[in-house]
Structure 1
């Protein structure tokens, strides 16, 4: 597997670590997954280290999700969302030897159905590809840079909240969050941090304190800052610092990057197009553009790999991204965007259709990167 640790890159982006692994030269493993609200069946639960493709079929009547998690800390290795009832999706991942957990979930709630996935050592020959190594190094530098900017700007936002300067805090809110949204798949890989930072009202189990961006968003746009605001701001800074430190330990593979790009488009489809993500500030288009930017960055750093493996897919994605970005530009205002509530129903529908036009071919990116 092509794996690089994020800590292996300095703030300036200079690579200081060597490749930790390479892609095995052996036939890919395919695992059939059948799931509904009460079933999560895999055709096999032991695979060899290397590339595995999970072919997931949703036989239920609600939209489903499928996750591969690290057993030791519950972090997300990779995921596929928006598996519509009756349809199938594929998830191609590179897995190193170790213990994992698979999880079948329904997007409308309910308890996840989980089981153990064992990845055994591979004796296959390995090969290295300098083009793939460079793509991982370049994306690593991007993620670290965005994380560091996020930490700095979050501190500035929190200072405004603590000072009671609602006008400044509102002005800083969306431009700061874009740095989270651009790297959301990596940030979300830490299952315990994401709910602290990015949970929406009603997302958390009963009795769990609501903290993070959206708790402060509600105060800034709806209820006003109060006696809890300074503590919420302080906690957001601490959780962001924790995130940035832990991002430095993440090991990335080329398939994680490809799947992460698709996850960003899924984020747009499920949270931004609907207007649910920023339900109080209505700054959804900032998040929308940041998710698109993050996904397109993956395409840009893997361009040479994809040009060699699947030039037709590269051309399709370039055209689809160009059309989507052109439509987003229509809604720019000053240094940002108009509020989402200012869009007409037809404008929202057009954006949704263009998101789908990118999302569909992007689903094949991870597999194309390892041909």
Structure 2
């Protein structure tokens, strides 16, 4: 996985979390019916209300703790409705989600680890609060097709990679590694929404759950990446892991069509992809052995840009200045990436260990310049002009 995040709880464990010590209700009466204030600290996750109308819900988040935190809205089985990551101390963030009537959980994760401090909440009513713009229904349908296509196209590329591993062909496996990850990286937030697939296929060593043994429990791309570039050899363990990767990604492909996708989850997912770039790719932590970070970087940006392009007809009508700024910042970031191409192929980039501090800082600034307006996209597509 792109950064150190521990696996979400299983559905069984989630069902047992009816109440969690340290997660309390705080009734201050502020905010509209669809607004929930979330006050996060190192020990608590306070919410201003436990019930709110179904439809578009806005979380006004404030981190009053000493640790960087993240806030999730979860289904009861721990699938992700929406999330906001990397909320530093004394920072405020807004998260807009679309929910149907039913039970959910709000989770704060101080230190961005573990299952978090949780609060059970309920959306009331018969469905969404307002009739949705048909252009947004079209955007969701097209994005769903895009996500499925990415999964369909990924599996043959993964097989080229895993076949090379099973054959013990080190150089062929190295060559096939980065291309095998592009479709996954473009659609990561949808894959992560299932909760239990990402820890199997994309976790880094430092993202393993407490008590897991890296030699026994670490699976997926990055475990194989370490063997190819650091260990420089392929043993039976790696061959077995290659077959496991095929199986786990086939499961992902099968489940993609059932993912819960809404206009707000598309917009939030685009922001999450930029967060992934900021916390893993720009730092060089994601592909620490292969240094193929810029391939992931490009794929993350492409996935975010696709979601934005589909939502743009509504966003540009509701918030024309925001759409103009997003167009500008996407173009600027694409231009920055072009500086680091190492060939005519759109996914041939300079090895990231060869990218200097000044260039990394320039890329980081470009990501930040895009992430700020992108964080407002969800609100732009669920509000009236």
2:57 is matched with: 52
Report the CA distance shift for 1:252/1:222 in structure 2 as closer, same or farther (over 3 A).
Answer: same
1:185 aligns with 2:218: no
Q: CA deviation at 1:106?
A: 2.1
Take 1:348 and 1:81, find their aligned partners in 2: how far apart are those partners? 21
1:307 is matched with: 316
Deviations 1:312-365 (A, max 9, x none): 111000001111110100001122100111111000000000100000000000
1:339 is matched with: 351
1:1-371 to 2 correspondences below 5 Å: 29-71=34-76, 73-107=77-111, 109=113, 112-122=116-126, 126-205=130-209, 206-207=211-212, 209-223=217-231, 224-334=233-343, 335=345, 336-371=348-383
Deviations 1:164-221 (A, max 9, x none): 1111111111111111100000000011111001000121122351000000000110
- In the alignment of these two chains, the number of paired residues is 344
Take 2:128 and 2:337, find their aligned partners in 1: how far apart are those partners? 46
2:8 is matched with: none
Report the CA distance shift for 1:104/1:128 in structure 2 as closer, same or farther (over 3 A).
Answer: closer
Q: CA RMSD in A?
A: 1.4
Unaligned runs of 5+ in 2: 1-31
Deviations 1:65-87 (A, max 9, x none): 0011111x211111000111101
Q: CA deviation at 1:62?
A: 1.6
Report the CA distance shift for 1:110/1:306 in structure 2 as closer, same or farther (over 3 A).
Answer: closer
Asked whether the equivalents of residues 56 and 129 of structure 2 are also in contact (C-alpha less than 8 Å), the reply is no
Report the CA distance shift for 1:294/1:227 in structure 2 as closer, same or farther (over 3 A).
Answer: same
Asked whether the equivalents of residues 48 and 122 of structure 1 are also in contact (C-alpha less than 8 Å), the reply is no
Q: CA deviation at 1:306?
A: 1.2
Q: Secondary structure at the match of 2:37?
A: strand
Q: Secondary structure at the match of 2:206?
A: coil
Q: CA deviation at 1:123?
A: 7.2
Q: Secondary structure at the match of 1:337?
A: coil
Which structure carries more strand by proportion?
A: 1
Take 1:126 and 1:60, find their aligned partners in 2: how far apart are those partners? 36
Q: Secondary structure at the match of 1:211?
A: coil
Report the CA distance shift for 1:126/1:61 in structure 2 as closer, same or farther (over 3 A).
Answer: closer
Take 2:165 and 2:95, find their aligned partners in 1: how far apart are those partners? 41
Unaligned runs of 5+ in 1: 1-26
